[in-house]
Amino acid sequence: MKKTFYVFNDGEFKRKDNTLFFESEQGRRFIPVEDVQEIHVFSEVNLNKRFLEFLTQKEIILHFYNYHGYYVGTYYPREHLNSGYMILRQVEHYLDKDRRLKLARAFVQGAAANMQEVLAYYNKRNKDVQAPLNNIANLLERIEDNMTIEALMAIEGNIRDAYFSAFNTIIDKGEFIFEGRNRRPPRDRINALISFGNTVAYTACLSEIYRTHLDPRISYLHTTNFRRFSLNLDIAEIFKPILVDRIIFYLLARNMLRANHFEAKAGGILLNDTGRQVFITEWENRLRTTIKHRQIGREVSYRRLIRLELYKLEKHLMGEKEYTPYVSRW
């Protein structure tokens, strides 16, 4: 599995022949182009066209974040696997109300099932989150075969609210109080963590879409907007509870993230550079972690699980096998 290269310092990307490197006040870091699939930039950098041409040649994606850690955009090299047939199938399923709803419903149900798995894990460990678990189960029963996408999204929002209501019980730290979801800017430390973690999850899913025949602009739960990527948002819903949220709980439980990893900025609370690096380190550890896959009977990493989810979606679109979302088991 290829690696991810992160940049947190100001500096300059340079190319010399078939070599890439990043120069900053901290020194020179070489980028092993044959072993890197994506680069994430959280700082101010300089680069030129020759650098981008080389990224295109090597099929390396470049993600940019602004000073506050918000996602800005992606240099998405020419899609070497793009398929006209697959785009047609994606569009057909988007334009057909029933087929779109079927996929959107699967994404919501898969996300909710993974939320239930997370809460059940902590419920067994003396964290009383039975009430949110019951609320999610009741809300899932309200999902109907013939409802609108808007009605489905409303239920999805209620499910997420029920799930978030368990966070204070799980975290149980006075300096990390969660008063409900808010964003842009997040107004507390937990919201800052959720926003940053979700952003990283969205870009990870986008990078995996690039390795498939799928077009990232055509989605089913989130409204398609041909000027921005949205399929990665759909896929990320499945994985946010078991990746982003579990990482948040893990880092806080072990005091790896503290109040001094956050700062008041832009009218809200944001992770500082050190806090982002702590989160990213654990994020990469988690993506490399392998689990036994029940269907294929072998060990796969969480990053590979995202790719496999996309392959399942491709098979559904081609009429080969109905899509069922991945649900984690502990």
Q: Is pLDDT of 1 > 80?
A: no
Phi-psi label, residue 299: left if phi above 0, alpha if psi -120 to 50, beta otherwise: beta
Q: Are strands 61-65 and 36-41 parallel, antiparallel or unpaired?
A: parallel
Residue pair 254/261 in contact (Cβ under 8 Å)? The answer is no
Q: Where are the domains of the chain?
A: 3-75, 84-317
pTM: 0.92
84-317 has which fold?
A: Four Helix Bundle (Hemerythrin (Met), subunit A) (1.20.120)
Q: Give the distance, in angstroms, between the CA of residue 192 and the centroid of all CA atoms in the same chain.
A: 15
The number of residues in the chain equals 330
Number of Cβ within 10 Å of residue 164's Cβ equals: 19
Distance (Å, rounded) from C-alpha 215 to C-alpha 154? 26
d(CA 36, CA 95): 36
CATH topology for 3-75 is: Ribosomal Protein L15; Chain: K; domain 2 (3.100.10)
pLDDT digits (tens, 9 = 90+) for 2-32: 889 999 999 999 888 778 889 998 889 998 8
Asked if 89 and 318 touch (Cβ cutoff 8 Å), the reply is yes
For residue range 103-158, what is the model confidence (pLDDT) as tens digits?
Answer: 999 999 999 999 999 999 999 999 999 999 999 999 999 998 778 999 999 999 99
- Could you tell me if 164 and 150 are in contact, meaning their C-beta atoms sit under 8 angstroms apart? no
Q: For strands 45-46 and 27-31, give the pairing.
A: unpaired
Q: What is the pLDDT of residues 179-221, one digit of tens each?
A: 888 887 899 999 999 999 999 999 999 999 999 999 999 999 9
